[in-house]
Amino acid sequence: VRRLRKGGIVGIAADVPTQYGAQLSLFGRPCRLPIGHTRLAAATNSAILVGVSQRVGPGHYRGLGIEVHPGDGDEEDWAAATLKVLEHHILARPQEWFMPPPLWPSAPEAPLLFQHRLPPALTRRLIRG
């Protein structure tokens, strides 16, 4: 809080599932995600920047910060708007989204939205050891 009030930046993962978050939607499916970033931003009158990285070449990445405005809704609406920005960037580069904890309950009939694939060179290195 002190850092934000002094104009600093705080990084928080908004797409990592948590048992204490709000019931939100990501890619049209319900999941429990944190909204602490919106509460913190509202309490300190701070902006929310969605941070994404884009691979631009082997070992080279570009970082982007996209501001998400609160609008007229509550903190959950602000969190949902943040997730919409994330969805846009994930859909543009699904191979670059890494989510180890499951976001959605497992069900045999549930379709997979993404399958993470390792780059061929990394796959070869992992297989060779």
Kind plus residue range of the DSSP H or E element containing 48: strand 48-57
Number of domains in the chain: 1
Do the Cβ atoms of 27 and 113 come closer than 8 Å?
yes
Report pLDDT for 10. Answer: 82
Whether pTM > 0.75 for this model: the answer is no
* Mean of pLDDT over the chain: 79
Residue 123 lies in domain: 2-128
> Which residue from 12, 9, 36 is spatially nearest to 24, judged by alpha carbons?
36
pLDDT in tens, 74-87: 889 999 999 999 99
Q: Is 92 exposed, middle or buried (0-12, 13-18, 19+ CB in 10 A)?
A: exposed
List pLDDT tens digits, range 72-120: 778 899 999 999 999 999 899 888 887 767 777 655 444 444 444 545 5
Of 5-9, 24-28, 63-67, the poorest mean pLDDT is in: 5-9
Tell me what pLDDT residue 120 has. 52
- State how far the Cα of 81 lies from the Cα of 87, in Å rounded to an integer: 10
